[in-house]
Amino acid sequence: MASPYRAIFAAPGTLAFTAAGFFGRMPLSMMGIGIVTMISQLTGRYGLAGALSATLALSAAVLGPQVSRLVDRHGQRRVMRPALLVSVAAVSGLLVCAQQGAPDWTLFAFTACAGCIPAVGAMTRARWAEIYRGSPRELHTAYAFESIADEVCFIVGPIISIGLSTIWFPEAGPLIATAFLLVGVVWLTAQRATEPVPHPREQHTSGSALRSPGLQVLVATFTATGAIFGAVDVVTVAFAEEQGHKAAASLVLAVYALGSCLAGAVFGLLHLKGEPSRRWVLGVCAMAVSMIPLQLAGNLPILAVALFVAGLAIAPTMVTTMALVEAHVPRTKLTEGMTWTGTGLAVGVALGSSAAGWVVDAHGAGAAYAVPAVAGALAAVVAFLGYRRLRRPVPTREGQDDGHIQDQHQDGERVA
């Protein structure tokens, strides 16, 4: 491990909570694609599969920020464990109904309840922010490490989820994802020493963290970005099936995540100067442009190469996003603010996977790669339109003094 990464783990408890966080975030990459694979295996209906994946993402988009807001007020342990029980029960109901061929409405009902899954990535990032507050270089590296962990999950998760559902039995992918969630959340919440101190209601300003204009830009852009991810997942599974190698879809999607993982590892070693908002816009534009070559992929090897190149822009953009979130939301609402970016992604994944599923059913997988291309163009447009909001000086926020805000903003410009 390179020295900047080794240095951040010098703080006690960091290795343990990142290990727990890795298990807990595995469902992020496994559950949606697992549902798509399960339903397509059982029914052959990609439209239904995409709609259920979209329902899960929309449910997480609605419930996730509310869970995180409660976490900011009451602590991770007191909130995440009850939310975990709801999620596990809902996924169990979904699997039983799918296996028994129950009516479609039951599948949608249980999938909607399953969206109560805690945002484990936001929880671990909040722990890093608590430990390295005032140490911008270490926090930058920690956020880069978190992005690497996300991408490793997206490398390993689809392989496990799609592989088990196609080789073992259709429900195996979502089932194992639920097991990962159970282990990760219980382990993480058992670690009290690194848990951020909760902020009671009286310490909170009125309203949501989403009132921040800068956060609104990030969430809106990430909605379009999420549509890229959701569409790519669904279309790649369908494309691989058309090529006669459906199980290979997990490997192709793993290559996509590998590109992001490698880029994130390098980005975490850098301490770039200049405005992080400008770097963020460039990253979003790079993600948009990278969708164009997918239209030309005629087979799985070419598609894998195109997706690897496309993945190189993801992690650096995500790392910069977390730095911008920290600079634009109050400290008492940091977990909620980070979750809102995930909410934007979730809404986008819902829209992208649903649209891609219908296009696959109507016109085939080759034509459906136009969906992520359109989503990428929309993300770039929104990022350009909102650029000025991200450049505005950060106002004084409750829970922090003026000097701290000014120093944090300057640090973010140096290293984010």
Q: Are 117 and 27 in contact (CB under 8 A)?
A: yes
Q: What pLDDT shows up at residue 290?
A: 92
Q: What pLDDT shows up at residue 239?
A: 87
Local confidence band at 2 (pLDDT 50, 70, 90 cut-offs): low
pLDDT tens sequence across 231-240: 888 888 888 8
Tokens 């639920």, residue? 178
pLDDT tens sequence across 95-115: 999 888 888 889 999 988 888
pLDDT value at 188 more than 80 = yes
Give the number of other Cβ atoms within 10 Å of residue 202's Cβ: 6
Highest-confidence segment of 7-11, 39-43, 95-99, 257-261: 95-99
Q: What pLDDT shows up at residue 392?
A: 61
Q: What pLDDT shows up at residue 45?
A: 77
pLDDT tens sequence across 328-370: 777 677 777 777 887 787 778 778 877 888 888 888 887 888 8
Nearest partner of 19 among 265, 257, 186, judged by Cα? 186
Nearest partner of 284 among 382, 354, 205, judged by Cα? 382
Q: What pLDDT shows up at residue 121?
A: 82
**Residue 390 tokens, joined:** 């991200």
When the pLDDT of each residue in the chain is averaged and rounded to a whole number, the result is 80
Backbone angle region of 44, left / alpha / beta, with phi > 0 → left and psi within -120 to 50 → alpha: left
Instruction: Tell me the C-alpha distance between 237 and 235, whole Å.
Output: 5
With residue 102 as reference, give the H or E element that holds it: none
Instruction: Tell me the C-alpha distance between 38 and 32, whole Å.
Output: 10
Q: Are 252 and 414 in contact (CB under 8 A)?
A: no
Nearest partner of 238 among 51, 54, 367, judged by Cα? 367
pLDDT value at 400 more than 50 = no
For 147-159, what is the mean pLDDT? 77
**Coil, helix or strand for 270?**
coil
pLDDT value at 403 more than 50 = no
Q: Are 241 and 361 in contact (CB under 8 A)?
A: no
Higher pLDDT, 136 or 9: 9
Percent of the chain having pLDDT more than 90? 12
Local confidence band at 381 (pLDDT 50, 70, 90 cut-offs): very high
Least confident of 6-15, 116-125, 360-369, 385-394: 385-394
Q: What pLDDT shows up at residue 397?
A: 41
Higher pLDDT, 373 or 331: 373
362 DSSP 8-state letter: H
For 12-24, what is the mean pLDDT? 88
Instruction: Tell me the C-alpha distance between 8 and 19, whole Å.
Output: 14
CATH code for the structural domain at 3-194+210-415 = 1.20.1250.20
**What are the structural domain ranges in the chain?**
3-194+210-415
Instruction: Tell me the C-alpha distance between 283 and 297, whole Å.
Output: 23
pLDDT value at 202 more than 60 = no
For 242-259, b where at least 16 C-beta lie within 10 A, e where not — what string? eeeebbbbbbbbbbbbbb
Least confident of 51-55, 145-149, 270-274, 367-371: 270-274
pLDDT value at 395 more than 60 = no
Higher pLDDT, 303 or 30: 303
Local confidence band at 179 (pLDDT 50, 70, 90 cut-offs): very high
Q: Are 111 and 102 in contact (CB under 8 A)?
A: no
Q: Are 144 and 42 in contact (CB under 8 A)?
A: no
pLDDT tens sequence across 269-292: 777 676 778 888 898 999 999 998
Highest-confidence segment of 239-253, 333-347, 380-394: 239-253
pLDDT value at 196 more than 70 = yes
Q: What pLDDT shows up at residue 110?
A: 92
